């Protein structure tokens, strides 16, 4: 049974909400990782600074202040100097530091675990006037920010040695910021996670988009089936009950025409009766096709050839209407599995709708709409092969077709187009823009293309014409 399209705006809202929720979740996960990284770095820097200050305090506790201040340039070989330097060296090795040094403010180096550093030498590691070292003058430890040297990052901390309330010397320690190597691993992991999240968001977004569209289509299909099941039963019974009286009326009208010689004024009325009976019979046929579509009998056939034959069959009708019909069947064969009779019905519907659109037989489009048209009313039908559906394609079956490609038929007119607020409803039952239409033609088209696992598309520019067509999988 033919289904109807769900308004695109509703589907798009659900898709946007679902994708937004997915992207927000991934954003929260990634943002949480980077926040954790930042807090972990700050914490590890703080712990490393505390450790260096603790080691510096231990070094200061091992120093005899009087012996230290008694050192003079040239005492590097004295036993007192070597004793202090050895103790600091052992502490450096035990604490896995790079350097421990002692210096006096404005007086230069006192003891340094680096070989070859003389007493009184300028201390290159610390500027006592640096604002970061101001706490030393208050008797408090201090630390400098991380710095980089030779591609490696280091950290320094200082502890004051106070004698008699005055700052007499300073213990400095330096260590490689090895914890940053561990954090670098975490950072690389976060970068990789972010990249994977982007890929995942893209893949998941595409999957959710397709799935949501299918769910929306299925939801609408279920609702439509419930509505149309009752309508189909009613239509079938109604058609049966009406068709019998119509047959009697037509037979009676024919008898009246046979008596035309005796009653010359009866012929116009008889002809009118027959014409209206035929119109009602056609209407009932449309109702039956919609309510109980024919079973699909698909065989491989040349869609391009069928388009050419169908267009040739209606060429006379187009000529009488003053509408130019151009056929572009493409090159080569376009073999697709199809029910030839049903696809011919689709082609006839689209072609005749296009003729009416440019000939002013609709409420929208054509001269009747008051729009401008460039040149003679014209309709063209094109057949082409496509690797994938066009962007505006809608699959009535809810799928996305096959990977083998499609053969697409496009019917284009130079009428005045279709208002954008009506495009979503074109395939709804009983919706029509014609002044004398049933609104079932495109609904039947929808059902046929759905049974063929094809797609439909409508593209329109107001005052410039419309393009409507379908694609069938190869």
- The CATH number given to whatever domain includes residue 445 is 3.30.565.10
Residues 173 and 300 in one domain: no
**pLDDT band for position 338 (50/70/90)?**
very high
**pLDDT band for position 6 (50/70/90)?**
very low
Rounded Cα gap, residues 469 and 384, in angstroms: 11
Range of the domain at 150: 62-177
**pLDDT band for position 438 (50/70/90)?**
low
Rounded Cα gap, residues 440 and 123, in angstroms: 95
User: Within a domain: residue 271?
Assistant: no
In angstroms, the Cα distances linking 78 to 59, 70, 71, 104, 437 are 20, 12, 9, 19, 115
Q: pTM (2 decimals)?
A: 0.46
**pLDDT band for position 426 (50/70/90)?**
confident
Residues 145/136, Cβ–Cβ less than 8 Å: no
Question: How far, rounded to the nearest angstrom, does the alpha carbon of residue 190 sit from its chain's CA centroid?
Answer: 23
User: Within a domain: residue 149?
Assistant: yes
Neighbours of 275 (CB within 10 A): 11
Task: Please tell me the least confidently modeled range out of 48-57, 297-306, 339-348, 439-448.
Answer: 439-448
Rounded Cα gap, residues 377 and 465, in angstroms: 10
Q: What angle do CA 257, 258, 263 make, to 5 degrees?
A: 70
pLDDT of 470 > 90? The answer is yes
pLDDT of 221 > 80? The answer is no
User: Within a domain: residue 398?
Assistant: yes
pLDDT: which is higher, 9 or 438: 438
Q: Residue 141: give its domain's CATH number.
A: 3.30.450.20
pLDDT of residue 368: 33
Among the candidates 121, 153, 177, a domain finishes at 177
Among the candidates 129, 155, 177, a domain finishes at 177
User: Within a domain: residue 108?
Assistant: yes
User: Within a domain: residue 139?
Assistant: yes
Residue-wise pLDDT for 13-64, tens only, equals 666 677 777 778 778 877 877 787 778 778 788 888 888 888 889 888 888 8
How many domains does the chain fold into?
2
Percent of the chain scoring above 70 in pLDDT? 73
Residues 162 and 307 in one domain: no
**pLDDT band for position 243 (50/70/90)?**
low
DSSP helix/strand/coil, 96: coil
Rounded Cα gap, residues 368 and 174, in angstroms: 89
Task: Please tell me the least confidently modeled range out of 92-101, 183-192, 308-317.
Answer: 183-192
Residues 315 and 454 in one domain: yes
User: Within a domain: residue 14?
Assistant: no
User: Within a domain: residue 83?
Assistant: yes
User: Within a domain: residue 315?
Assistant: yes
pLDDT of residue 380: 93
Burial of 320: CB neighbours in 10 Å, binned 0-12, 13-18, 19+: exposed
Among the candidates 177, 209, 229, a domain finishes at 177
Residue-wise pLDDT for 69-108, tens only, equals 788 888 888 888 888 888 888 988 888 888 898 888 888 8
Which residue from 121, 115, 74, 68 is spatially nearest to 92, judged by alpha carbons?
Answer: 115
pLDDT: which is higher, 264 or 28: 28
């Amino acid at each position: 049974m033919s289904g109807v399209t769900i308004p695109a705006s509703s589907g798009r809202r659900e898709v946007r909400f679902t994708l937004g929720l997915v992207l927000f979740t991934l954003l929260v996960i990634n943002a949480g990782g980077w926040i954790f990284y930042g807090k972990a770095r700050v914490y590890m820097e703080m712990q490393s600074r505390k450790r260096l200050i603790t080691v510096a305090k231990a070094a200061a506790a091992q120093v005899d202040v009087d012996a230290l201040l008694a050192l003079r340039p040239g005492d590097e070989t004295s036993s007192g100097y070597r004793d202090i330097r050895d103790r600091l060296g052992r502490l450096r090795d035990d604490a896995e530091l790079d350097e421990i040094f002692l210096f006096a403010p404005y007086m230069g180096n006192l003891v340094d675990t680096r070989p070859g550093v003389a007493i009184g030498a300028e201390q290159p590691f610390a500027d006592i006037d640096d604002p970061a070292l101001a706490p030393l003058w208050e008797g408090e430890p201090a630390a400098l920010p991380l710095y980089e040297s030779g591609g490696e990052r280091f950290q320094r901390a200082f502890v004051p040695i106070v004698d008699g309330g005055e700052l007499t010397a300073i213990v400095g320690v330096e260590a490689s910021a090895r914890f940053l190597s561990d954090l670098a691993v975490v950072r690389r992991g976060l970068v990789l996670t972010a990249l994977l999240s982007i890929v995942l968001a893209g893949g998941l977004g595409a999957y959710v988009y397709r799935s949501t569209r299918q769910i929306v289509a299925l939801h609408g299909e279920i609702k439509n089936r419930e509505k149309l099941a009752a309508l189909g039963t009613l239509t079938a019974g109604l058609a049966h009950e009406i068709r019998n009286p119509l047959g009697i009326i037509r037979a009676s009208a024919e008898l009246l025409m046979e008596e035309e010689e005796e009653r010359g004024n009866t012929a116009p009325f008889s002809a009118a009766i027959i014409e209206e009976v035929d119109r009602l019979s056609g209407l009932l046929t449309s109702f039956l096709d919609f309510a109980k579509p024919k079973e699909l009998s698909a065989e491989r056939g040349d869609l391009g050839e069928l388009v050419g034959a169908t267009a040739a069959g209606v060429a006379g009708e187009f000529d009488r209407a003053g509408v130019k019909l151009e056929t572009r069947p493409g090159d080569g064969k376009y073999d697709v599995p199809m029910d030839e009779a049903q696809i011919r019905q689709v082609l006839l519907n689209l072609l005749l709708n296009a003729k009416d659109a440019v000939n002013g037989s609709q409420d929208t489009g054509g001269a009747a709409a008051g729009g401008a048209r460039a040149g003679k009313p014209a309709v063209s039908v094109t057949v082409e092969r496509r690797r994938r559906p066009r962007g505006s394609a809608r699959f009535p079956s809810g799928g996305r077709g096959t990977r083998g490609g499609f053969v697409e038929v496009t019917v284009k007119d130079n009428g005045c187009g279709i208002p954008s607020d009506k495009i979503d409803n074109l395939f709804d039952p009983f919706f029509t823009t014609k002044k004398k239409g049933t609104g079932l033609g495109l609904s039947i088209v929808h059902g046929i293309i759905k049974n063929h696992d094809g797609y439909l598309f409508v593209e329109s520019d107001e005052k410039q014409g419309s393009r409507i067509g379908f694609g069938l999988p190869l």
